[in-house]
Structure 1
């Protein structure tokens, strides 16, 4: 048997540590998928409409390209080569069939797996066991009461989820941070499935329209039933479906050497609102490209947790677009949503008819005080 030299062993240790980091990130992916699937099943079970899973082979064929597209190569390869990939593919297809937008969800889950991979790699020499944890207690302390926490604890897969949490914790991963991120995905799944099940009900102001009210949408008209969970529909609702590829290209051109970050921005959930602002600025003859150039001149969005990069990029893009050309580079002032709501001349999110000014003051959502435009389509 050939013995490795001292020079070879450190390289082997590094390779093994990197492989361990990828394996752990795959475990995190499985955990998030298990939580999302538990929420889907709970919603559909309550409605008596739980769907049968798609054939494993067909599900694998239909989802493998999406996984390769939205996840890092090393993590995607490990997932697709795993023995349980057919079951994961079935879960993904079940979520898609239930109304979840995988093109929006997978990049966010990808951010979680990258964070886990990097945490394990950085803590490879500090791995230690912390003993038995009360993961149900940790779950209740981390997540608010509601359908997501209920779905996790009542799921038949809960014991396996708890074992996974313990293993991730042993490997130096911040499990509570994963749970907090996975909770947002669970809420999204709950809403997406509930939306499909309640499609026949009379629509009310959507959660996306309500939560987006403020700096993201000031000066814009947004529909009352805005649906950011469905990228294609959101672009249609904002009347920018055909213009979106151009705006994506403009962002990438404004961020040379930061292709991955540019992709995070244009794949972020709130990207349609950023694109809508770009379209609104173009219609007013404003230099959109000059505004976007600030993303490279002021890279303060790089500061902070990697898992929140997409959100910071959205905020930075909105700040860059709203700040007048010629203003000093630097992070713009943060506007409180509550303050914006209290001082806005609008009374709530609505969608104005094309070419028509509001008949009474304060009915066009997110429109700043001033004369109505004489021409141009309403966004």
Structure 2
């Protein structure tokens, strides 16, 4: 028997690390799919369905995996300490209506992509940033049920830790997330179908009323719930730490008037302001110089005290949207006021005889916003 060489041992260690990292990627995808399943069942059925017994799930899941994945990944997965838990997640997805014959091959492709990427990148690459995974989710995944399910899941800290470990091993976490998002959408639709929910979600009243200047260019979920600020911030992928930091930036921009900003922070539309500031920061646009305009144009002071929060929301949005160097005076816009109002009735334009019907309008935030990032693993 040949004596192992240092080079051979290093190669074996590298190959093992690649396979174990692939298993991490599988664990991440399954955790996201399971979070979506749980979220859908809580939302539509009022409670999550119990996981199948571990012993039975291990046997059934092993049979489902047979001949679908490469032997090294399959062996590492089924030999891991948390395989019984992953087997339960898989079988729970099947019971919820997910076609594993369709899901598993695609998850296997993700695992192979990750394994090969790590094998080609033995040297670890130093991680950039400070682990702000919620910001990465906002920038990578479009608003919707998958992103909210991830952030509202009790296992979110574990998911974030897994993303950090993948990143440390040189894996493109954004690419894995984009692929996992597509699988999560499939899970969401499959579970919704079993629960007799509509395949196409209806647009919430809050989302419809928010269309206009407050949401131009923002990524707004169709089921936006502004009545619950914590949920709205979660839907927009704004962490509690980010929310507190944005509140502090506003207060710092209003020296001597800090307490007057408080009504804005409890206003229904405040989450939309935080989403705009987060978007500006992700694009490299400084927020502070824009917020300074709040003290240069204090027209928001005029009006009933009860409406101060709403006036500040509009003034802050105007300050953030206007390019630096533009005038600070905000001109009243009848059209904008009509869009912002929840009770205004759209005026019917006077059409001359023989005039062609007007083209249907497009929601401002849909027209101006960049296309959501989506993708499949190579």
TM-score (norm 2): 0.51
Q: Distance in 2 between matches of 1:186 and 1:96?
A: 14
Deviates more, 1:159-168 or 1:31-40: 159-168
Aligned residue for 1:207? none
Match for 1:9 among 3, 6, 9? 6
Q: Distance in 2 between matches of 1:38 and 1:307?
A: 21
Q: Which structure's CA Rg is the greater one?
A: 2
Q: Distance in 2 between matches of 1:49 and 1:147?
A: 17
How far apart are residue 29 of structure 1 and its match? 0.2
Structure scoring higher RCO (CA < 8 A, sep ≥ 6) equals 2
How far apart are residue 65 of structure 1 and its match? 1.8
Provide the aligned length of Structure 1 versus Structure 2.
202
Aligned residue for 1:103? 101
How far apart are residue 307 of structure 1 and its match? 3.6
Match for 1:32 among 29, 32, 41? 29
Indicate the SS of the match to 1:69. Answer: coil
Indicate the SS of the match to 2:126. Answer: coil
Q: Distance in 2 between matches of 1:69 and 1:91?
A: 20
1:78 aligns with 2:79: no
1:45 aligns with 2:42: yes
Indicate the SS of the match to 1:161. Answer: helix
The 1:152/1:306 distance shift into structure 2, 3 A limit, reads closer
Native 8 Å contact 1:119 1:173 kept in 2 = yes
CA RMSD of aligned residues (A): 2.1
* Superposed counterparts of 1:1-379, under 5 Å: 8-47=5-44, 48-130=46-128, 132-198=130-196, 307-308=377-378
Moved over 2 A (4+): 125-132, 305-308
Native 8 Å contact 1:132 1:166 kept in 2 = no
How far apart are residue 125 of structure 1 and its match? 2.2
TM-score (norm 1): 0.51
Unpaired stretches in structure 1, ≥5 consecutive residues: 205-304, 309-379
Q: Distance in 2 between matches of 1:131 and 1:154?
A: 23
Native 8 Å contact 1:133 1:166 kept in 2 = yes
Q: Distance in 2 between matches of 1:85 and 1:167?
A: 19
Q: Distance in 1 between matches of 2:57 and 2:67?
A: 16
Listed one character per residue, the Cα deviations across residues 326-348 of structure 1 (whole Å, up to 9, x for unaligned) are xxxxxxxxxxxxxxxxxxxxxxx
Q: Distance in 2 between matches of 1:45 and 1:82?
A: 29
Listed one character per residue, the Cα deviations across residues 245-297 of structure 1 (whole Å, up to 9, x for unaligned) are xxxxxxxxxxxxxxxxxxxxxxxxxxxxxxxxxxxxxxxxxxxxxxxxxxxxx
Indicate the SS of the match to 2:123. Answer: helix
